[in-house]
Amino acid sequence: MEFKMKERGYETTFEYGTLDISGDAEFGFRPFQLLVSSVAVCSGGVLRKVLERMRLSYENIDVKAKVTRDEKEANKITDIHLHFIIIGNNLSEEKVKKALAVTRKNCSMVQSVIESINITESFEIQAQ
């Protein structure tokens, strides 16, 4: 990866397109937003694969992330709580709990930050 300095941040280009990054949300995505997004979307993507491997059908999975930051320590992220809203029929809470445990172990982004950020999960199942 290569990041090029701009007047108000940095820019990088990937296969999908250009990503603008800045400490000022007016000029790009803020670094903490990208970190939280990486954890949330990685978890959601892995959960999708785990549910499919378990042959559990679902219609949709949304992820809400609640972030806690410590202003006294450079405003670092201390906690990320991920709440999964899983829409589908015939999903048991017990099987979804197992799927989330597997997800946590196999999400590379969670595993990358687990020593420094407290990651917690919850979920709700909604019928289609």
Q: For every one of its 128 residues, what pLDDT tens digit does the chain have, with 9 covering 90 and above? A: 999 999 999 999 999 999 999 999 999 999 999 999 999 999 999 999 999 999 999 999 999 999 999 999 999 999 999 999 999 988 999 999 999 999 999 999 999 999 999 999 999 999 98
Dihedral, CA of residue 95, residue 40, residue 107 and residue 122, to nearest 10? -30
pLDDT at 88: 93
Q: What are the backbone angles phi and psi of residue 44, rounded to the nearest 5°?
A: -60, -40
- Whether 21 and 10 have beta carbons less than 8 Å apart is answered as yes
C-alpha 91/C-alpha 112 separation (Å) is: 29
Going by C-alpha positions, the residue among 100, 81, 79, 82 that lies closest to residue 91 is: 100
Going by C-alpha positions, the residue among 91, 108, 83 that lies closest to residue 51 is: 91
